[in-house]
Amino acid sequence: MTDEPRALALMLPPWAVVSPGRVEHILRVVALVDDWARTRALGGGEVGRWIRAAALHDALRDADDAVLARYAPQGEWPRKLWHGPAAAAAAALHGEKDEGVLNAVRYHSVGFTGWDDVGKALYLADYLEPGRDHEREASAALADRVPRELEAVLREVAAQRIGHLVATGKRIGKETWAFWNRLAADA
pLDDT category of residue 6 using cuts at 50, 70 and 90: very low
Output the DSSP codes for 2-24.
Answer: ---HHHHHHHS-TT----HHHHH
Report the C-alpha gap between 130 and 137 in whole angstroms: 9
Lowest mean pLDDT among 2-11, 97-106, 109-118: 2-11
Report the C-alpha gap between 130 and 159 in whole angstroms: 19
What integer pLDDT is reported at residue 119 of this predicted model?
A: 98
pLDDT category of residue 41 using cuts at 50, 70 and 90: very high
Whether the predicted pLDDT of 79 surpasses 90:
no
Report the C-alpha gap between 172 and 143 in whole angstroms: 25
SS3 42: coil
CA atoms within 13 A on the CB side of 124: 33
Q: Which residues contact 174 (CB under 8 A, 6 or more apart)?
A: none
Cβ neighbour number for residue 15 with a 10 Å cutoff: 17
SS3 37: helix
Backbone region of residue 111 per phi and psi (left: phi > 0; alpha: psi in -120 to 50; beta: other values): left
Q: What is the pTM of this model?
A: 0.93
